[in-house]
């Protein structure tokens, strides 16, 4: 069974349980010792008193009388010396007797077939015994409380290097090439071995990141060159007055697609390198980006027999990364266009973000969370795409601190709601993707 408690709590619990075992053993030992001592000492005392009572010349004339707190009985005794019924079943030796609120120690001896019993009031002894047991019980509880405090202090001392190591490992500077090693800061113990293991793993991770940055730089160079050729060629073609309207329309589409691809390349580079100094947030109007994308996608959407409803109800402005914001909205529009065969696509601007809604095939509720994973298309009805669009949307929202929510539309279709936070311009370490459905 896997423990769900933290390491410090487990240390405290173990310390308290160990202390409870030790203190409980001592407490039980004290209680048992008190009973043993009580039986032996009282037996010896009462046995001696009973022997002195038996050394009488006659049974009618006493030379020795019981002590004031003692009672003497014997078989065939008369009056106050008659053996009561509650003593007849006692065998020879030491016993304890309770009569109402009073308690007695009893010692029984059998001589020539006659049973002699001497009782001694033990009420005061019982009070002292109860006081002793109360002290033992309080001491047991105090030892548990002390063990809890000491365990907490010990746990803090023991796990302090582990906590410090975890903070160092989580620090973003650990991925830098010149980050200092962790192991020299710790003793040559288990924590030191763990720090050395982290040094090895972080070294491999830094090497992998360096290779990835080099790869993305090479890809950037190789992709930008043909894109620049396409863009310049499109510009030259558009300057040709002999170009007929149909050809000019196609060249314009090529030019727009080239510009979109250049932005997409920059988006992937920004996400892969995680360099916020490239594409820093600027003051951007959400409506301007939406207007441009609606103009770009209206013709493809309407040529498919769909209607595009655009509701610019908000004039939201904020310090957003325009390239990333355009990529998120453009990918959601492309996703809606790709998976909608009839009906409409709707883009609604809100005070805190925007909504892209379609009347396509929809996504089953049990597949919605997985739709934001790479290469997931959600079944045969989701078409033949690669399943990277929504994954890119999720990655951008994670890096910018935005939220994206997927829900169903009745009777069929999907609704993607993106919540923007104008105060956030840097990535957040913890990101939770809310997924709800109707």
**310 band by pLDDT with thresholds 50, 70 and 90:** very high
**367 band by pLDDT with thresholds 50, 70 and 90:** low
**In this structure, CATH architecture of domain 282-419:** 2-Layer Sandwich (3.30)
CB distance 337 to 300 below 8 Å? yes
Q: What is the DSSP letter of 63?
A: S
Q: What is the mean pLDDT of residues 211-232?
A: 77
Question: Which residue ranges does the chain devote to CATH 3.30.565.10?
Answer: 282-419
Q: Are strands 344-350 and 307-311 parallel, antiparallel or unpaired?
A: parallel
Q: How far apart are CA 284 and CA 96, in angstroms?
A: 93
What topology does CATH give the domain 175-275? Helix Hairpins (1.10.287)
Residue 414, SS3? strand
Question: Which residue ranges does the chain devote to CATH 1.10.287?
Answer: 175-275
The two tokens of residue 136 are 């033992």
Nearest to 197, CA basis, from 209, 175, 181:
181
pLDDT of residue 269: 66
Q: How far apart are CA 368 and CA 391, in angstroms?
A: 12
pLDDT, one tens digit per residue, over 10-23 is 888 888 888 888 88
% of the chain residues with pLDDT over 90: 9
pLDDT, one tens digit per residue, over 29-49 is 888 887 777 777 777 777 877
In DSSP terms, which residues pair with 408 in a beta bridge?
Answer: 414
Q: Which of 95-104, 228-237, 290-299 has the highest mean pLDDT?
A: 290-299
**pTM score:** 0.46
- Given a cut of 80, whether residue 435 has pLDDT beyond it is no
- Given a cut of 80, whether residue 118 has pLDDT beyond it is yes
pLDDT, one tens digit per residue, over 154-187 is 888 888 888 888 888 877 777 777 788 888 888 8
């Amino acid at each position: 069974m896997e423990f769900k408690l933290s390491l410090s709590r487990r240390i405290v619990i173990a310390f308290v349980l160990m202390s409870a075992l030790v203190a409980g053993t001592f407490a039980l030992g004290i209680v048992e010792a008190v009973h043993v001592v009580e039986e032996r000492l009282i037996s010896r005392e009462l046995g001696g008193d009973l022997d002195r009572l038996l050394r009488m010349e006659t049974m009618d004339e006493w030379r020795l009388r019981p002590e004031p707190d003692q009672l003497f009985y014997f078989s065939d005794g008369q009056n106050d010396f008659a053996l009561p019924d509650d003593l007849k079943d006692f065998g020879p030796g030491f016993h304890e007797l309770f009569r109402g609120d009073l308690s007695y120690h009893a010692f029984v001896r059998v001589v020539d077939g006659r049973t002699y019993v001497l009782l001694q009031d033990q009420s005061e002894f019982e009070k002292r015994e109860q006081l002793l047991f109360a002290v033992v019980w309080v001491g047991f509880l105090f030892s548990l409380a002390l063990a809890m405090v000491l365990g907490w202090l010990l746990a803090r001392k023991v796990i302090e290097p582990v906590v410090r190591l975890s903070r160092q490992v989580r620090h973003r500077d650990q991925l830098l090439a010149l980050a200092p090693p962790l192991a020299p800061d710790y003793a040559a113990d288990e924590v030191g071995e763990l720090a050395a293991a982290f040094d090895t793993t972080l070294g491999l991770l830094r090497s992998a990141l360096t290779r990835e940055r080099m790869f993305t730089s090479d890809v950037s160079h190789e992709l930008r060159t043909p894109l620049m050729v396409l863009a310049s060629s499109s510009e030259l073609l558009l300057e040709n007055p002999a170009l007929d309207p149909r050809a000019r329309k196609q060249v314009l589409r090529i030019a727009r697609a080239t510009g979109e691809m250049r932005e997409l390349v920059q988006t992937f580079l920004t996400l892969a390198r995680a360099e916020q100094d490239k594409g820093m947030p600027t003051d951007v109007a959400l409506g301007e980006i939406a207007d441009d994308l609606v103009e770009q996608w209206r013709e493809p959407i309407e040529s498919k027999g769909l209607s595009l409803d655009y509701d610019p109800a908000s004039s939201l402005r904020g310090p957003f990364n325009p390239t990333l914001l355009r990529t998120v909205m453009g990918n959601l529009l492309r996703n809606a266009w790709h998976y909608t065969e009839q009906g409409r696509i709707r883009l609604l601007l809100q005070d805190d973000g925007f909504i892209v809604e379609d009347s396509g095939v929809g996504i089953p509720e049990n597949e919605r969370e997985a739709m934001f994973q790479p290469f997931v298309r959600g079944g045969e009805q989701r078409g033949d795409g690669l399943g990277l669009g929504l994954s890119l949307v999720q990655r951008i929202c994670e890096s910018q601190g935005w939220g994206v929510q997927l829900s169903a539309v009745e009777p069929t279709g999907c609704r993607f709601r993106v919540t923007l936070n104008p105060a956030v311009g840097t990535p957040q370490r913890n990101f939770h993707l809310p997924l709800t459905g109707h």
